[in-house]
A and B are shown apart, each in its own frame.
Chain A
Amino acid sequence: MKIRKLAFISTFLAFLVPMLVVATVVISYTYPTSTNETAPKVYLAQGPNYNAANAMGLFSAKQVGTPANISSGTTIYLNNTYGDDEEALLNVLEIVNNSPSGTTVIITFNTVSLPSGVTMYISNTANTDLTYSVTTNGVITINGGSIVSSGTTIKLSSSGAYYIGFLFSSGATTGTGTIAFSYAIT
């Protein structure tokens, strides 16, 4: 009974006053570790319309590796067309979600800083194109997606590709910006 009391008191002190605990037994283990680069499970890549937009000189974002992905730090180039009223580049990028089943991916766009008049969209559903409609006075509306801005958080509920597009409204300006995002897998 005294031993049990002692154990109880020791456990109690170990939890509540950890700084005061003094180990009486030290056992060490050594594990060798190895750090390698592995294919990302969630990554940014060229979308299904990238080639057409690139051929027209309107969009560029190089991708590398297997699976092909756009590395962080790669500059994404967008061109607005002289003389147009509005321009939409739909499905030129995609965020691929290859995470294992049973996991959940939450993307947070920490920074979306684009020149005035340029808006970024991401599709609401995996493997579903962003679409458009045009009003009679030439105004383009992107459908099937959500506007992405700084702080936007999106839960990727299923695996597949989530397409990204850009809209240049009338009077869009040129300049530089940043798109930074992070994702967490649980």
Chain B
Amino acid sequence: MNKIFQIFSVIAVVFIMVVVIPSDTKSNVVISYNYPISVSQAQNCIKYEINNLALSVINASKSTLGTYGDSATIYVNSTWWTGIASDNEGNTFYVNSYGDLFENYSQTTTLRYLGTPYSKYRWDGPIVGVAVSNNTISQGGALVQELSEWGAVFELNVTNGNTISQGWYAWSLPYSEYSAINEVRSINYYLEIFMYFATNGTIYYYFPDNGPENHIFYPLTYSTSPAPLVSATVYGFISGFNIYVEPFGLLYNGSVYIFNGNAWTYFGTASAGARAIMMSPSNNYEGTTPTSLYYFYLMVILLKNSTYAYVSNQLYYSSTSATFSQTSIPTFQGTNEAVFNPWGYGWYILQTNGTIAHSSGWPNPTTWNYFSLPLIYYVYPTLLNITDSCTNSFTVFANISSGGSSGIYNMRYFNLTFYNSTKQSRTQFIFSDGILSYPMKIINISNSNEIFINISFIEDMAYNATFYFVVYTYPQGNNNILISYQLKIIMIDHFAFIPV
């Protein structure tokens, strides 16, 4: 009986522990809190703003800086080599999109800098190309003209290897987007002609013999037009006291059109992604009325690296169509911009980074030689300010997006620098020959100071480039407050009419 009693006693104790005492009271203390939360927006003591003074220097076209939003965007014009031309004595001229003009005197290795119209005139868009007249005593030398994308024509009278007279003249074509400038030369120096091509197919021409004070731009009427024209070249000759022209226009899709009388008509197709078209020398050296004995060729190069250019079949003034065949060209890093055939000197291919491949022989090139144009270092100072009115010191950390900016990696040199007002602390992002230097430095700035951003580069095609930066504080030595902003710097990298 005692045993039964003991068993029941154990059962009773277990019953008390398991059933009578609730299972959720293992803890003997339970405390609760309740906090209302209020989330608002505030103006931070760190803000970014564009330096308006810098804007007027760098020709940045617009900016969203200074207004609050999820990102700040600034547009910066990059600079790249755009044009090549030569006069009747073999003096070759090179121009970049900022209008910087160089002359290679009589095919020597000596280059001289002739300046830029943009040191005198306002920014009117990147320079699309250069053309030059015959070098004549009557004109006091060669007339070199640059054409801007938005129709500004700048002219410089360049005396052979000597002084530059008169300085730059500037005129304006009717407002449009322009892509090409050409010069038709003849043995009759008074019948030379400059021609200007808008992307919509409109053609204007100009007789330099009229003199800079009496310039008139004459339009060529047309009925239909392919668009956009990305390049053009002209076959011309004189007959008596008249000059005849036969323009060829190139579309980015590779289609070639000819302007006959009053309309553009389809002429042939080279290859998609076409950038520039040029005519070979003609055996009509006198530039007189052509006969069936006089022929020429067309060459088309592509914008992106290609191992081929496209050369037409033998053409005559009366030709109504062309077929294009591949011909080998050198492969060198860069972006093709212009093709040119100086008076009997073979082919030149100019790249946006200033690399030039030169071949003798035509229509198909033979041996290629290379040389490079001078490197011009462009600096856009104090592009952006980041101002601080915080009670804490803060630190800026900058980083570059790896996405959507592949073009920047093709640049020979591109430098984005953040530095503080004392210039003692800075961080740089340097692209050199396509390699990014990634120092990951941070900038410490104290109260009421600023951060400035500089951009500098050597001319080349940049494509679009997007940069992000992050701002955060350093309280108590810890990175505890992070405020990230997106700073978007878009390099205006090429002509709007080229869809890259």
- List the interface of chain A (C-beta within 8 A of B): 1, 4-5, 7-8, 11-12, 15, 40, 42, 44, 48-49, 51-53, 55-58, 61, 70, 72-92, 106, 110-111, 113-115, 118, 129, 131-132, 134, 136-140, 165, 170-186
- Report how far A83 CA is from B11 CA in the complex, Å: 70
Interface 0/1 of B394-417, CB less than 8 Å to A: 000101111100000000000000
Chain B residues with CB below 8 A from A139, complex form: 484
Determine whether the beta carbon of B39 is less than 8 Å from that of A78: yes
Given the contacts A49-B478, A134-B470, A136-B399, A84 and B483 also touching, CB distance less than 8 Å: yes
Q: What are 28 A-B residue pairs whose CB atoms fall within 8 Å in the complex?
A: A11-B9, A15-B15, A48-B480, A52-B476, A55-B390, A56-B392, A57-B45, A73-B36, A74-B35, A79-B42, A80-B42, A81-B41, A82-B42, A85-B484, A86-B484, A87-B481, A87-B484, A115-B39, A138-B470, A140-B484, A172-B39, A174-B40, A177-B39, A180-B33, A183-B30, A184-B27, A184-B30, A186-B26
Determine whether the beta carbon of A1 is less than 8 Å from that of B485: no
Determine whether the beta carbon of A179 is less than 8 Å from that of B35: yes
Chain B residues with CB below 8 A from A72, complex form: 32-35
Determine whether the beta carbon of B31 is less than 8 Å from that of A183: yes
Determine whether B17 belongs to the interface, using a CB cutoff of 8 Å to chain A: no
Determine whether the beta carbon of A136 is less than 8 Å from that of B41: no
Determine whether the beta carbon of A58 is less than 8 Å from that of B481: yes
The smallest C-beta distance from B407 to any residue of chain A, in angstroms, reads 17
Q: How many A-B residue pairs have CB under 8 A?
A: 224
Interface 0/1 of B41-53, CB less than 8 Å to A: 1111101000000
Determine whether the beta carbon of A53 is less than 8 Å from that of B481: yes
A40's contact among B31, B68, B402, B483, by CB below 8 Å, is which?
Answer: B31
Given the contacts A180-B34, A181-B32, A80 and B70 also touching, CB distance less than 8 Å: no
- Report how far A40 CA is from B11 CA in the complex, Å: 40
Determine whether the beta carbon of A185 is less than 8 Å from that of B40: no
Determine whether the beta carbon of A84 is less than 8 Å from that of B33: no
Chain B residues with CB below 8 A from A77, complex form: 38-40
B68's contact among A82, A138, A180, by CB below 8 Å, is which?
Answer: A82
Determine whether the beta carbon of A138 is less than 8 Å from that of B5: no
List 12 other contacts, CB 8 Å, given A15-B15, A52-B473: A4-B5, A49-B481, A83-B70, A88-B481, A132-B482, A138-B468, A138-B470, A138-B484, A176-B39, A180-B32, A183-B30, A183-B31
A137's contact among B5, B36, B486, by CB below 8 Å, is which?
Answer: B486
Determine whether the beta carbon of A48 is less than 8 Å from that of B478: yes
Chain A residues with CB below 8 A from B397, complex form: 134
- Report how far A52 CA is from B44 CA in the complex, Å: 13
Determine whether the beta carbon of A44 is less than 8 Å from that of B485: no
- Report how far A136 CA is from B404 CA in the complex, Å: 12
Given the contacts A53-B480, A56-B45, A86-B484, A136 and B15 also touching, CB distance less than 8 Å: no
Determine whether the beta carbon of B475 is less than 8 Å from that of A90: no
A56's contact among B4, B34, B41, B44, by CB below 8 Å, is which?
Answer: B44
6 closest A-B pairs by CB:
A52-B475, A182-B32, A83-B68, A49-B480, A184-B27, A79-B42
Chain B residues with CB below 8 A from A184, complex form: 27, 29-30
Given the contacts A55-B390, A136-B400, A80 and B39 also touching, CB distance less than 8 Å: yes
Determine whether B369 belongs to the interface, using a CB cutoff of 8 Å to chain A: no
The smallest C-beta distance from B406 to any residue of chain A, in angstroms, reads 14
